[in-house]
Chains A and B, each alone.
Chain A
Amino acid sequence: MSKEKIIGIDLGTTNSCVAVMEGGDFVVIQNSEGARTTPSIVAFTQKGETLVGQFAKNQAITNAVNTVRSAKRFIGRRFNETSDEVNKVSYKVVRSGNDGVKFETSAGEMTPQEISAKVLQKNETNC
């Protein structure tokens, strides 16, 4: 039997939020920490863990180079269009093939879409 659901996603630059249609009404889904919004932050720790949301935010100061926030600003943009943003972020932004954008982290190079997917994945698991 199919498990089709109607969900609405607000993938924000700073925070993200997911709602699901239930009996004709939408219900905002709480994340595992009990919050209705999740910080759009992904971190890669020295231990090889990937932290998403509030936990990534909690350790941001100790691991700024591997903590990616505001990834949405880079989606759909060429590297030469992002010089303003590149200077504002704590992580390393590099040019990828076809003048695209990638983030250099301890877990390897990640595209902005991959980072956003991790934020969505965390929200999706709560649905």
Chain B
Amino acid sequence: MSEQENTVTENSANDETEGSKVNDSNVESSEETSKIANLEEEINKLKVENSSLKDSWLRERAEFQNYKRRTANEYLTIKREAVKSFVIKIINPLDNLERVGMGVSITDELKPFIDGINMIKNEFYSVLQKENIQKTDPLNKPFDPMSMEAIAADESENYTEETVIEVYQVGYEFVENNERITLRPSRVKVGRPKF
């Protein structure tokens, strides 16, 4: 083989090597492109998933905050309701103690007995007072449907506004942080102005 032929063969071999290199790099770049496309697709998918998870987390957090607030309110309500249901049970015997001595003439013989009953009654009231429970005294006060229940009404020109003229059953209220919560509304007779 001549020198010239050798050079040609070398050149063609070099061309083949370069050609295969170009092909390899083309394959690599297309692989990389598809890899990048896959990764981008995955990133997009994860972004969507992330935003959905973030949204659901925010919703859960908001719901939890609401739950916390409601639980705190419920705790106060439950406490108040527990006191209320207990006090309502205690109030009826107290009402009956109030009726002792009503409608009878108090003789010297009966007086110590009545005094004893009054002492027990006052002890009951002091216990209730310690728990911030107070008796209401609505007589001659303006009628307030938030703390009183009208059982009867009397219409007359003597009244300028709705006024309590008789108390059938006293009410009780629970005083907490200057807030008055009616435990039992007073049952009253209301005097109404005549229109």
Given contact pairs A1-B62, A51-B145, A62 touches B81 in the complex (Cβ within 8 A):
no
Which of B3-11, B37-45, B149-157 faces chain A? Answer: B149-157
CB–CB A58/B145 < 8 A = yes
Total chain B interface residues with beta-carbon distance under 8 A:
22
- Within residues 49 to 100 of chain A, which ones have a CB less than 8 A from any CB in chain B? 51, 55-62
Give chain A residues whose Cβ lies under 8 Å from the Cβ of B146.
55, 58
Given contact pairs A58-B145, A62-B162, A34 touches B150 in the complex (Cβ within 8 A):
no
CB–CB A59/B151 < 8 A = no
CB–CB B190/A62 < 8 A = yes
| Residue A15 is within 8 A (CB to CB) of chain B in the complex | no
CB–CB A58/B77 < 8 A = no
Residue of B nearest to A43 (CB): B145
Chain A-chain B contacts (Cβ-Cβ < 8 Å), number: 41
Give chain A residues whose Cβ lies under 8 Å from the Cβ of B145.
43, 45, 51, 55-56, 58-59
> What band does the interface of chain A fall in when counting residues whose beta carbon is under 8 Å from B?
10 to 19
| Residue A30 is within 8 A (CB to CB) of chain B in the complex | yes
CB–CB A1/B153 < 8 A = no
Given contact pairs A1-B62, A30-B77, A61 touches B153 in the complex (Cβ within 8 A):
yes
Minimum CB–CB distance for B168 against chain A, Å? 12
CB–CB A34/B149 < 8 A = no
Give chain A residues whose Cβ lies under 8 Å from the Cβ of B84.
34
0/1 per residue, A1-30, Cβ < 8 Å to B?
101000000000000000000110000001
Minimum CB–CB distance for A39 against chain B, Å? 12
Pick from A3, A34, A43, A57: contact of B80, CB under 8 Å: A34
- Within residues 51 to 94 of chain B, which ones have a CB less than 8 A from any CB in chain A? 58-59, 62, 67, 77, 80-81, 84
Given contact pairs A22-B67, A30-B77, A34-B81, A62 touches B192 in the complex (Cβ within 8 A):
yes
Interface residues of A (CB under 8 A from B): 1, 3, 22-23, 30, 33-34, 43, 45-46, 51, 55-62
14 A-B residue pairs with Cβ-Cβ distance under 8 Å, sorted by A, are A1-B62, A3-B62, A30-B77, A34-B81, A34-B84, A43-B145, A51-B145, A58-B145, A58-B149, A59-B143, A59-B145, A62-B150, A62-B153, A62-B162
Besides A51-B145, A58-B148, 13 other A-B contacts (C-beta < 8 A): A1-B58, A1-B59, A22-B67, A30-B77, A33-B182, A55-B146, A58-B145, A58-B185, A59-B145, A59-B150, A61-B153, A61-B190, A62-B190
